[in-house]
Amino acid sequence: MIQQNNRQPLLVLIVDDVPDNVAVLHDALDESGYTVLVANSGKAALEVAAKTEPDIILLDAIMPEMDGFEVCRALKANNKTSQIPVIFMTGLTETEKVVAAFEAGVSDYVTKPVRINEVLVRITSQLQTSSHVRQARSALDAFGQAAIAITPENGKIVWQTPLARDWMHDYFLDDSSLSEARELLTPPKVFNWVKEAYQADVTGKTLESLIIIQSAKRLTFSPADISSDEQWVIVLREESDAAQIEALIHIFKLTNRESEVLYWTIKGKTSRDIGDILGSSPRTVNKQTPRTCICKAWCRNKNCSSITCCFKITRFDLGHYLRIGYGLISSLTS
């Protein structure tokens, strides 16, 4: 049996309205070292799953009031339970029923009457897969990476790192009253871009990254793996003008105004443009000349003589010292 890193037994939720079925499964799982919870209805299952977040769920397909198909769809629509693998227990072996089960979100299924050894093997297999996915997501989280995985057919978000979830909420869900179900759907603009990126990838081309602008911040979407027909993985990166200006201040010991002028000059803005952005006249901006800003940053970065460096920079043309600036800013954002 797979155990968690803290060596605690894994938690299995059995959902079945027939006590005899529950008893057989409970005893077998308990003897195998699992901690077992039981729910005798679909409604109870949703409450228990949301509260305890079990490692895996064994779900009966046919139950009164709320059947297994409906329960599974509800589990997958809830952000807290969407990643829990579900194994269907069913006597329905018709192809359309099996297809419907997978469309509802089940990970695997066993036919009734259940064979305990088969159930245990399938549980182990699903837990291993779930563990690998969880480890991959944890690695992304540990390195501060933001990523989402979506299904190609409907744009449903299969999983997302905490940082990606925060950014998606900030940029696309400005109404806190919106339901959790909407949080699990890729915004149409992003989904359409991913589909275009997939088509470009098929033809051997590369589509430019998608950039969503919000005030002084920009959220960039780049494809990480869109070759699969099962799920597409997208990497997110946020850029902020304020954050990069702040980095220039601390790394190169420039004043706030020098950093602002340098940053916007690197971006290709003229003195007049910079004056408009900073709320100053072009003459005031010229007092913090881009050449002086780049010179100071270059001197501190290279530990050279300020007089010598300034002499050299004043001989450079505008394009050349802008390339120096691009090099400096690239070192901050790489």
Q: What does the pLDDT look like over 296-334, one tens digit per residue? A: 555 555 454 443 444 343 434 444 444 545 455 455 444
Give the residue carrying structure tokens 């149409």. 188
Fold annotation for 253-333:
Arc Repressor Mutant, subunit A (1.10.10)
Q: How many CB atoms lie within 10 A of CB 3?
A: 12
Four-residue CA torsion sign, 114, 120, 121, 125: positive
Q: What is the pLDDT of residue 260?
A: 82
What top-level class would CATH report for the domain 11-132? alpha beta
**Helix (H) and strand (E) counts for the chain?**
15, 10
Distance CA 223, CA 113 (A): 45
What percent of the chain lies above the pLDDT cut of 70? 76
Cα three-residue angle 38-44-46, rounded to 5 degrees: 100
What top-level class would CATH report for the domain 144-239? alpha beta
With a cut of 50, list the residues of the chain below it in pLDDT.
5-6, 175-179, 181, 302, 304-322, 324, 326, 329, 332-334
Q: What is the pLDDT of residue 141?
A: 58
Amino acid at 244: Q
- Taking only the tens place, the pLDDT of each residue in 70-91 is 999 999 888 789 889 999 998 8
For 2, 14, 37, 38, 111, the CA distances from 58, given in Å and listed in that order, are: 17, 5, 10, 10, 12
Cβ burial, residue 100 (10 Å; 0-12/13-18/19+):
middle
List, in sequence order, every beta strand (DSSP E) within 92-216: 108-111, 146-150, 157-160, 210-214
Q: What is the pLDDT of residue 39?
A: 95
Q: Where are the domains of the chain?
A: 11-132, 144-239, 253-333
Amino acid at 232: W
